[in-house]
Structure formats: C-alpha cells, structure tokens
Amino acid sequence: MNKDAAGWPGGLPGMNVAQSAQQLAEGWSQALKGMTGLSLPAQALPELQASYLRDAAALWNAAADSQDPPKPGLGDRRFAAPDWLANSSAAYMAGMYLLNARTLLKMADEVQADEKTRQRLRFAVQQWVDAAAPSNYLALNPEAQRKALESKGESIAQGLQHLWHDIRQGHLSQTDESVFEVGRNVATTAGSVVFENELFQLIEYAPITAKVHERPLLIVPPCINKFYILDLQPENSLVRYALGQGQRVFMLSWVNAGENIGDKTWDDYIEDGVMRAIAEVQAISRQEQINTLGFCIGGTLLACALAVQASRGEEPAASLTLLTAFLDFSDTGILDLFVDENMVQMRERALAQGGLLKGRELAATFSFLRPNDLVWNYVVGNYLKGETPPPFDLLYWNSDSTNLPGPMYCWYLRHTYLENNLVEPGKATVCGEPLDLRLIDVPAFIYASREDHIVPWQSAYTSTQVLPGKKQFVLGASGHIAGVINPPEKKKRSHWINGKLPKTADAWFEGATEHAGSWWPAWTAWLTPQSGKLVAAPKAAGGRTRKAIEPAPGRYVKARA
C-alpha cells in the first residue's frame, strides 16, 4: 500500500529520488573538480545515478508500504538494535545513509587520479561518512532516545559525566581504565630493573623453571607504545610463556619521552638504547651472543642496531625474531596516505631541532584508521547511552600512549615511510655507519598477521628477501596486536607455515599449510635450538655485574603521556 509523504507513518517528508541521485552525483563531481582539479569519468556518472535511483526507489517503496517496514540492510552493526527497525523513519534514514555512503565511496573510487591520490580521497570520504552516521547523534538515534526515556534522563546525565571525564583526561575512553594499574594487574610478571639510562630501563625477569637456556632472550618492544603489551596478564603474557619454556628473558622498557630528551635522535635510540641493552644483557649473562626479538618499530630499531654492529665487526646476536615489523617500507598500507614530502617537511620544521611528538596525536591517528571500531562506537556508547565501556586489558594498553623525541621521529619518517632507505645498502647512515641490513647474517624468525592494517603481512614477508641468513616465516590470523597476543591455551585462531620462501608473499601463501591455534609453539620450537644448553637458573637478577634497581615493571613504564 503506497502513501504520500503526509500520510506516511512518522510524517517523513517526500523525496524525488531521481532528482536526489542527479544532485548527489553532479554536485559532488563539481565540488571535487573545484577543490582539487580532479574529475570523474564521463561514463561513471550515469551508471552511479542509475544505481542510486534503483536502490533509493526500493528503499522509498519499502518505507511507503506498511506491510513491509524498511530495514537498514547490509547487516551494519551500527543499526542492529531493534529500535531502528521498530521506528520506520529511523530505519528509512539509516537505509538512505548507507546508500549515500556507498555512492560517495564509489565516486571516490572512480576519480581520475593516481592511486595514492585516489586512496587519500577515499580515506577522507570514509572519515566523513563514518562521522555523519545518524547513529552518532542523539537526535537521530532511536536506541539512545529509548534509553534516555527509560532511565528518565539518567543515561544522558551519565553520558555528560563520561564526556567531561574524557575531556579532562585528554582522550576517549575505550575501556574502564579505573580497573587496571600497571604493576598490579597488568605487567605483573616478576622481575627486576637491572640497568637504566635516560632512554630505557632493562628488566630481567625472574625464572619460573629450575633450569634455563644459557643464551638469554632480549625483547625490544615498540617505543611508540608501552612494553607490557607483551606482558598484559599471566594468561596472555608472551613474556611468561617464554619463561615457561626455559628462556632467560630481558625486556627493554623505553622511557616515556619528556622535554628533557626532546633532542634525542634515531642514532641515540640505536646507540644508547638497543645497542646498550644488548651489551648489558651480554655482560649480565656472560654470553658473547644472545637471542633478540623486536616487535613493530622495535624490530626496525633492532635490525638497524644489529646492522651497525655488524659493520663494526661485531656479532652479538645468535638469532633475530621480528614480529609484525617493517624492514622494507615500499608498501606501508593505509599509513602511506599520511606521508609525503610536504608532510615530512612540515614535521621537520616543527620537530627536527627538538621537541616532542605527543603520544595522544599518535594514538588518535591509529584510532581513526578504524574509526567505527575505535572512535564512534565509544562516542555512542559512552556519551549517547551513558554506558561505561567494559574492562579490557588490551584497550587499556592502547590508551596508555607515549611521547617521542621530535628529531628521532623525523628521521624515522623520512628514511622509512617516505624514502624507504633502510633496504638500499649504504643509502642511510646510522651511528656513523653506512647501513646494510644484508650484514645481519643470523637465523631469523619472521612473524606477520594476516589482517594487520599497520604492517601489511605482504610487506613483513619482504624481510625474507632482505635478510641473508636461514629464515622461517609464519603468518598468523587476526591483526597487528591480537594476532601476536595469542596464547596457546586459548586455542584460538590459526597460523600458516611454508618451509619454502619464494620471492613473493602470494606465492608463499599458495604453498602454505594452515595449522589450528597459536603460532607461539612454532616460535619456541625454532628458538630452542638457538638458545644453547640448559643451566641452573640464576638465583638473583643482574648477575655479578648489576644490582637490582627496583622491581619490575619499573618506573619508566608507569609514566603517563
């Protein structure tokens, strides 16, 4: 049964879908050309208009038929609550929003431009349409409105309290941060700080086995986050798992940079950071060679340090493990959209001579790579519905951001994301040495996550073509963090292994075999032969050369940005 606008339930205003389709396509095309000089192919507009007209008419007809109430469609979880279907106006609005969003993104995909420009435009459009979702606004969200009525306004009052709390703390709450405390219920594995300088503290973890492998393991975490992602809680701690396998584990805990070290450079992080940590572990363990592991940018720092040492005739590493880390930055995925010469020069003018890149800025950038999951989801829950997000250790860690010295960050931007200099022998100079990653001739275990949007797994795979030694590549399911933090006891996800290392990642995957569960056992099976014989576990941290400074996790990791 068809009704006109005045007779349609909810008083929804009428619309001319053909006119709307034409206005949307032509108006956006003209605006695009006016702002950027770009345009759409002539044949694309009629096709987009026809598709829009067909889908919009279907939505309108469904909305006007009382026997067939409109549906948002596509299973979008933003509109999954029954309130959206129960309210015909809201359901129609959601359906039209999704149609408009799809159409705008299709237009962005059709723009006549180079691939990077097109991807940048698509990213900007995606940000806009995600922000414009009717679910994000109290006046348009029937679920939030129902909660407000049922609670007699209490949900709105609670939402305002949450908003004021987040304004004061300087970031959007993604979890109930009051539940967690570093050293109390996250980063709890027992150990001692055995060395510190202005860049890092070195933690030696207490053994949990009677015997340990004589060759210790040094972990270099990312300096853009806190180290305890690898030691969240006992049941998902990679540190504790390695200790249980008889490893003697050391962790580098980076300082949360303050103005006092705002002039530190990439060379400082290599020489006084990674290389100094390696030397300390060698001295404490009295081992000429140690096993090393680098996670994310920690892997990039570690590889640079080992290459510098190799150029000086030193071979401190018996093995190298890289977890979701770049060496070859030729394909950096979505992050490439943010980096070009103008952007890097702007950063260099602001920070290259000193100052800090604030951790909040980095955290916001990474959150807006997945805005519906990490931004708008919490805007709706925290502020519109007045809900307190549930406690989640990983998201607590995600909110615990760190600052970086400006000169260090600027060097990293230019020589990696912009110019990809690390894989060209001699192109970059680090600590006075022409950098050549081919000098790192040690066994290497390289792990990547299949759904990683920060370090695409195909890019992580290229490390197999850069490093000269014997290598094993393992691909895990899930993303940048969840793929790495996958303890075997959970029996979750899967991983892929292929003993051969062809030139391309796709060829590797074609020959790979999927295995159920965590990749951690595959790593320890590889690491154990690199670790030497079993010896009695040390009775005290620091060996004969260092005394314990304070209990783990130390002061540095507790400093908030």
Q: Are strands 191-196 and 200-205 parallel, antiparallel or unpaired?
A: antiparallel
| Residue 333 in tokens | 């995925």
Dist. CA 73–CA 97, nearest whole Å: 11
Dist. CA 236–CA 232, nearest whole Å: 6
Of the candidates 223, 296, 304, 431, the residue annotated as catalytic is 296
Dist. CA 229–CA 485, nearest whole Å: 8
- What secondary structure does DSSP assign to 472-493, as a single string? EEEEESS-TTTTTS--GGG--S
- Residue 410 catalytic? no
Residue 127's H or E segment, with its range, is helix 115-131
Helix crossing, 115-131 with 88-110: angle to 10°? 170
Name the residue type at position 497.
Answer: I
The residues near 281 (Cβ < 8 Å, ≥ 6 apart) are 202, 216, 218, 250, 287, 290
Dist. CA 57–CA 92, nearest whole Å: 11
Residue at token pair 């600052």: 403
**Cα dihedral across residues 472, 451, 226, 389: positive or negative:** negative
Whats the size of the chain, residue-wise?
561
Question: Which of 53, 49, 25, 50 is CA-nearest to residue 39?
Answer: 25
Active site members: 296
